[in-house]
Structure 1
Amino acid sequence: MFLQVKEQSLCILWNLSVDEKLRARIANSELLPILIKFLEDDNVKVRESAGGVLANLALSQSNHKIMVEAGVIPNLAKILNTEVVESKVVRKEARNALLELTKDEYNRILVMEEGLVLVPLVGAAAYKSFRPALYSWPSLPDGTKIEQGSKGPSRYGASELLLGLNIRDRNLDLEEAKMNVVVGRTRQQFLARIGAIEMEDGNKSNSEEGTSSQGFTLLPWMDAIARLVLILELEDELAITRAAQSIADASFNEHMRFSFMQAGAIKHLIRLINHPSDAVRSAVILALYRLSISDGVCLKIEAEGVLYPLVYLLKQSESATSQGLIEMIVNMLSRILDPNKEMKSKFYDGPLNGSKKGMNTTAIPTSDGNETIAQESSSSTDGRELVEPTVLNRLVDILKKSDLDLQRKAASILEFIAASEPCVEQIISADIESGLEAVFQQKPLTEKGYGIDDEKPELQSLELEEAGQAVSAASRLLAKLLDYDLFRQSINSLHFTKLLRAALMSSIPLHNKDWVAACLVKLSSLSGPNLDLENPVNIEVTLYETIPRLIEQIKSSFSPEVQEAAVLELNRIISEGLVDSTQAVAAEGAIFPLVKVLETGTERAVEASLTILYNLSMNSENHAAIIAAGAVPVLRRIVLSERSSWMRALRLLRTLPT
């Protein structure tokens, strides 16, 4: 009797939840956690009704937040992930509820974290162009053939399906990821061969349509990855575009990116880079960029020959290549052409520094942490394509006109190219000097006190961070180019010295000034000692980079040795009587950490700290800060304990107004 009442009550609630106003009242009541609990009820009618109510509640976007906070996503995802045969109604309502929730980007990630992936419904008609190798036998992602039995494979892939589904039961030494690839691929290819690929998703009507559906379904990640890769093999442009976009969205963690690589998505994506459709190209490059976040996957993408098609697109005129596509290409190239790699191996066939790996080999990490040497595709560029005038001009134009993030990436690519001396002449011809000048003349660098009193400090802080990264990358590029006589003879050294000084004295983050200071010192040493006597370079580097860096080490270092070395170096700079050094030390907030060193530092650090504080105390304006930092009681303890530095402590104590 009670069971019947519960079923009837839920059915009434299911009907009432059709009304939008009533949905809000149900979601904000105590009924919501009860409905979620009913998803695990033993009675199938109860589960169906509870799922139906939750699916209706999800139709109102205002209910999404409270539903997610109540924990509805894991419970609904469990229904779709289970291997146990579940009621079709329950699965349908769970899928509908989750599909509504995934319209929010944050919720979409939560759903994917539960092992479900959004897959576009492209219509059964689109799969008619799928041409599997008939009578084929399954193989592993690396091309290894699975040993055949006595019977040959069937035309529709039934034997492959059975083999794939039972591969775990066979005595095969396979990695789990490769097993999953085989299982997922055989399932999806079998469904495609018999024309039932989307029937289980309620999309039968699409088999009679010539256009792709705009809907989505949710599949467990193993099947979803296999189906997305299968869609990439179709001819329908919209289907391919949507599949590539789904791959980009699903590549949110290391596991998913590695799984797409194992499933063979990379070779299909690279094949589609030069597709006639701009929408396809954009979606494909975005997917590759998201996949390349993983270092191992990025190496695999490079080994498959992605550089040539990317560079080819970059060479096209602006009318043929959209600005958004150019930005994604630059993003992709900056990740692949990392100047920290063995750069010159990209330009020459010979091994680098005695390495046995030639230009055409790449180390691909395996799941067990070892490396295997993979042969690069013959279509992979050796780097000379990047030195073409069209490509260099495009990169220099990005330095001149683009936003700060793209400037940083373009500078990184140019630094990679500049690793080869024969390329320097072409880089100079592309007017690299004007590109570097544009980066160093950004607004945050040329305006003193930029962002200090602004109404939107968060935005200004972000812009300063991005400007600092762009300037740091441009400084690395300039430092690399300064290694070559040809460039040194062509550059206006005085002008760039002034620009670098302005960058050094700007408000960009301290860690971005490292390369600016190094490049400035290098440029100054190459230009002669009497470049500008009024403002010597070494003084500015010390005041705006060295002193702030040493103070930061004193503040944040957990190593007594590092802290001691920083205090001793700071003491040396002040003791040499560098102009404005004591003012710079006080302005950078060094007094408080120096007083702390008196309590926790080594004996040598304490002596150096006392000397610095004494020099600072010569300016009465610093007395208040020294006292506020708690120096007086610390100094008295040092004097009373008669430590080796007690005389210095007493001398400092006498200068303070105590």
Structure 2
Amino acid sequence: MLGLDNDPLDREQAIETLWKYSLGGKKCIDAIMQFHGCLNLIVNLLKSESSSACEAAAGLIRSIASVNLYRESVAESGALEEITALLSRPSLATVVKEQCICALWNLTVDEEIREKVADFDILRLLISFLEDDDVNVKEAAGGVLANLALSRSTHKILVEVGVIPKLAKLLKADNTENKGSKVIRKEARNVLLELAKDEYYRILVIEEGVVPIPIIGADAYKSFRPDLYSWPSLPDGINIEQTAKAPSRFGASELLLGLNVDKNVDDVDEAKMKAIVGRTNQQFLARIGAIDFEKEIKSEGPGKSQQLTLLPCVDGVARLVLILGLADELAATRAAESIADASINEDMRVSFMEAGAVKPLVQLLANNNKETVKLPVIRALKNLSLSRTVCQRIEAEGAVWFLINLLKQPEISLNVTEHVLDIIAHILDPSKEMESKFYEGLVNGSKADSRKEVLDAAVFSRLVQIAKTASPNLLRNAISVIEFGIISNPNMDTIISKDITTVLDLALRQKVLEEPENEAEELEKHLLKLEEAGLTISAASRLLTKLLDSESFRQTIDTAVFIELVRKILRSSLPLHYKDWVAACLVKLTALSSPSQSLNNPINLEVTLYKTIPSLVEQMSFSSSPETKEAAVLELNKIVSEGVPESIQTLASQGGIEPLVKLLEERNERCVEASLSVLYNLSMDSENHTAIIRAGAVPVLRRIVMSQRPQWEKALRLLRNLPV
């Protein structure tokens, strides 16, 4: 009766009967599949205009696909293509959608079929069905996506079609918004957890407001001991001022304190409010023993089984901080790992700080000698320390002393050394120190004294040892901490005696500067190496510049060698913004070796050509400040007018003509006059004529002449120089 030559109504009745029969189990399905060609006839009915026929055909395919033996046959029969076409119809009955998607759900159990289903068009449809009004359709769509996510090869296309924001929204939604949708929430969690196994995709998941949390088992929370009575405090440990002499009966004063709203309520920022809410929720769950009942998700990663769940950020951050304070060492270690992974941006880092994560992390660092515990804790502190605000909190909790002591131990691994030095360099950053002095006033005495105490001779000796033998990142951070030591302790004898010149020489000799760009194996890698070299060279130049203030240091170095090194860097292809301290260092070295400071001095000339002029062109081109542009063009005019050799050629080669022409249209008369003077000097070389004309100078100059602006005579002279 399924034959193509039969009446459509008979075919519809037959497919409905077969569908109902297939619900009897595998034996019934085997009986249907004994008939050769029946699968093709069933798939053909997916093209029917009758909703009942389509529903029955899709339902029967769903039943057949539930049997392992027949899934491949279903996929080869063209069912995937027909189901996709059917789901693409603009108006399709909900029951048909459900059966079609459930058929895909069963088919995608097979790993090979997942590759065929992971098509952009099918995925786009599935994501749209996540917002369907029918719960069954949403659950089925989530189930298909969960199956697809089990294959790593499908992760890229899943992310590209936008599955992460949709599923994160479903996971964060209240139960009241998704009544009866526990299945879709579970499937959304499964998909996101599978994607979060990839480091990059995990960042995308966290950016959508959900955090991976380790499942440690309900028994681990038995060590949680909340205070039976305590005065209200913020999660980060800040106590609220207590005005009452004794606690009120039944806690009425605390309740009123919580309900009090005054004109200063806006002073409590959003991060603090979220931290309070999250802590309250998680501590309540821990107290009543209703925590960690989520289904465990086992990672397939090598080495160990990781059990994870996902929580919205407010609850997730609070849960991780709660786990940090438990007696279970393994649980605290896993929480530290999760904090390290989740600290992807400033908001997350501040959230962890406000939730009180810094103090228990520092305590774990201080009280545990196992590297398996220390490494995750150090990773967490390292990622948190990328925030200047959190850096200050880490230092306030006394972490620097423990980190320095750890750094002094020569037996620690290179990995731990690198992480520890990263944290110390973030906290003791000389550029941030000078900035804080400028904006926030001098560092208080006790803080400055504590820094001097930890940065002793043994520390500098260890830093020099690390810098001589380690990676570029360690070299750069070691130099940064040494520089901080100079700022906090002007007595340089300790540092000079530790062979600092060897470290500086090593930092300034970067092999990447000798590699021609056109011969680099990969341009991107070459540029990345240049950036890394620039950071190291900039730090070394800054340190050398400050060390040159010491008479005893000047007597220990060969100035000529360092001048040659720095000149070579200045002439190199190093990005311009890294040459600021290079130029300053070169000028200072030259001043110490030669009294002549005129522009025609070879060293000063190189600084002008390779640093000053390119920087001024950059300011004219990209600055949004009219004052900055004016200052740049006036300085350029001064350099060119003084007849600095090769300044015209350098200005043209650095792309200075176009921004100069644009400045002619400014209303600032000083800008226009200076631009005309520089362009006139450029026009004296016929090789620049084409570039000046191409930049659109001619019509602008003619407007200046015709409107009789104060500079019209200079504009006319420039026009006469050009071949127009």
With structure 1 as the length reference, what TM-score do the two structures score? 0.80
Letter in 2 for 1:548: P
- Listed one character per residue, the Cα deviations across residues 487-509 of structure 1 (whole Å, up to 9, x for unaligned) are 23333222222222222222112
- How far did 1:418 drift? 0.5
- How far did 1:6 drift? 6.5
**Structure 2 equivalent of residue 289 of structure 1:** 382
Which structure is higher in helix share? Answer: 2
Q: Would you say 1:556 and 2:649 are equivalent positions? A: no
- How far did 1:385 drift? 1.6
Separation in 2, partners of 1:203, 1:644: 77
Gaps of at least 5 residues in structure 2 are 1-51, 53-92
Contact 1:137–1:148 at 8 Å: present in 2 too? no
Separation in 2, partners of 1:431, 1:523: 19
- How far did 1:402 drift? 4.2
- Listed one character per residue, the Cα deviations across residues 106-162 of structure 1 (whole Å, up to 9, x for unaligned) are 43233323332101123445445x25256455742235489967569xxxxxxxxxx
Q: Would you say 1:260 and 2:348 are equivalent positions? A: no
Q: Would you say 1:244 and 2:336 are equivalent positions? A: yes
For residues 424-503 of structure 1, the aligned pairs below 5 Å read: 424-445=492-513, 447=514, 450-451=516-517, 454-503=520-569
Select 1:16's aligned residue among 87, 101, 107.
107
Select 2:643's aligned residue among 577, 580, 590.
577
**Structure 1 equivalent of residue 631 of structure 2:** 565
Separation in 2, partners of 1:541, 1:29: 55
Select 1:81's aligned residue among 155, 162, 172.
172
Separation in 1, partners of 2:626, 2:174: 57
Separation in 1, partners of 2:351, 2:313: 9
Moved more, 523-532 or 93-102: 523-532
**Structure 2 equivalent of residue 376 of structure 1:** none
Q: Would you say 1:507 and 2:573 are equivalent positions? A: yes
**Structure 2 equivalent of residue 214 of structure 1:** 306
Separation in 1, partners of 2:638, 2:100: 83
**Structure 1 equivalent of residue 64 of structure 2:** none
**Pair 193,614 (structure 1): closer, same or farther in 2 beyond 3 Å:** closer
Separation in 2, partners of 1:473, 1:414: 10
- How far did 1:534 drift? 11
- How far did 1:515 drift? 1.6
Gaps of at least 5 residues in structure 1 are 153-162, 205-210, 347-351, 363-379
**Structure 1 equivalent of residue 480 of structure 2:** 412
- How far did 1:400 drift? 3.8
Separation in 2, partners of 1:197, 1:626: 72
Letter in 2 for 1:229: V
Separation in 1, partners of 2:164, 2:557: 60
**Structure 1 equivalent of residue 323 of structure 2:** 231
For residues 264-279 of structure 1, the aligned pairs below 5 Å read: 264-274=356-366, 275-279=368-372
Q: Would you say 1:544 and 2:610 are equivalent positions? A: yes
**Structure 1 equivalent of residue 444 of structure 2:** 358
Contact 1:289–1:332 at 8 Å: present in 2 too? yes
Q: Would you say 1:99 and 2:190 are equivalent positions? A: no
- How far did 1:267 drift? 0.8
- How far did 1:325 drift? 1.4
Between the two proteins, what is the percent identity of the paired residues?
Answer: 54
Separation in 1, partners of 2:106, 2:135: 18
**Pair 436,356 (structure 1): closer, same or farther in 2 beyond 3 Å:** closer
Separation in 2, partners of 1:558, 1:442: 34
Give the number of equivalent residue pairs.
612
- How far did 1:290 drift? 1.7
**Pair 168,492 (structure 1): closer, same or farther in 2 beyond 3 Å:** farther
Contact 1:439–1:474 at 8 Å: present in 2 too? yes
Contact 2:452–2:488 at 8 Å: present in 1 too? no
Larger radius of gyration: 2
With structure 2 as the length reference, what TM-score do the two structures score? 0.74
Contact 2:466–2:478 at 8 Å: present in 1 too? yes
Contact 2:297–2:308 at 8 Å: present in 1 too? no
Q: Would you say 1:322 and 2:408 are equivalent positions? A: no
Letter in 2 for 1:304: E
For residues 171-186 of structure 1, the aligned pairs below 5 Å read: 171-172=259-260, 175=268, 177-178=271-272, 180-186=274-280
Letter in 1 for 2:398: G
Letter in 2 for 1:485: E
**Pair 50,138 (structure 1): closer, same or farther in 2 beyond 3 Å:** farther
Considering Cα pairs closer than 8 Å and 6+ residues apart, tell me whether 1 or 2 has the greater RCO.
Answer: 1
Secondary structure at the counterpart of residue 119 of structure 1: strand
Secondary structure at the counterpart of residue 579 of structure 2: helix
Q: Would you say 1:519 and 2:585 are equivalent positions? A: yes
Separation in 1, partners of 2:357, 2:238: 14
Separation in 2, partners of 1:88, 1:241: 31
Separation in 2, partners of 1:55, 1:278: 37
